[in-house]
Homo-oligomer: A and B are copies of this chain.
Amino acid sequence: MLTVWPLAGIPEISAGDHLVDVIGSAVDASDPLADGDILVVTSKIVSKAEGRFVTADDREDAITAETVRVVATRTSASGHVTRIVENRLGIVSAAAGVDASNTPEGTVLLLPVDPDASARALAEGLRARLGVRVGVLISDTLGRAWRDGQIDHAIGAGGVQVFEDLRGSTDTQGRPLHVTLPCVADELCAAADLVKGKATGMPVAVVRGRADLVGELDLPGARTIPRTGERDMFRLGYDEAYAEGFADGTASVQPRSKTTSTK
Which A residues lie at the B interface, using CB under 8 A?
1-5, 12, 72, 74, 84, 86, 91-92, 101-105, 141, 144-153, 162-163, 166, 169-173, 175, 177, 180-184, 186-188, 190-191, 193-195, 198-199, 201, 209-210, 224-228, 232-258, 262
Contacts and interface: CB of A to CB of B under 8 A. Distances in A.
Contact of A246 (B236, B237, B252): B252
B227 A146 contact: yes
B262 A256 contact: yes
A171 B101 contact: yes
Contacts of A74: 233
A187 to B, nearest CB: 4
Contacts of A240: 241
Contact of A198 (B2, B147, B180, B224): B180
A2 B196 CA distance: 11
A227 B148 contact: yes
24 contacts: A3-B4, A12-B172, A92-B145, A103-B173, A145-B234, A148-B183, A148-B226, A148-B227, A151-B190, A152-B187, A166-B199, A182-B193, A187-B194, A191-B194, A234-B234, A235-B238, A241-B245, A245-B247, A246-B246, A249-B251, A249-B253, A254-B255, A254-B256, A255-B256
B241 A242 contact: yes
9 tightest Cβ-Cβ pairs between the two chains A and B: A249-B249, A245-B245, A149-B183, A241-B241, A191-B191, A242-B245, A190-B190, A246-B249, A245-B246
A193 B42 CA distance: 21
A199 B166 CA distance: 8
Nearest to A153: B147
A5 B146 CA distance: 29
Given A237-B234, A242-B244, A194 B171 contact: no
Nearest to A191: B191
Contacts of A256: 254-256, 258, 262
Nearest to A245: B245
Contacts of A201: 172
A202 to B, nearest CB: 10
A243 B105 CA distance: 46
Nearest to A248: B246
A234 B201 CA distance: 34
Nearest to A236: B238
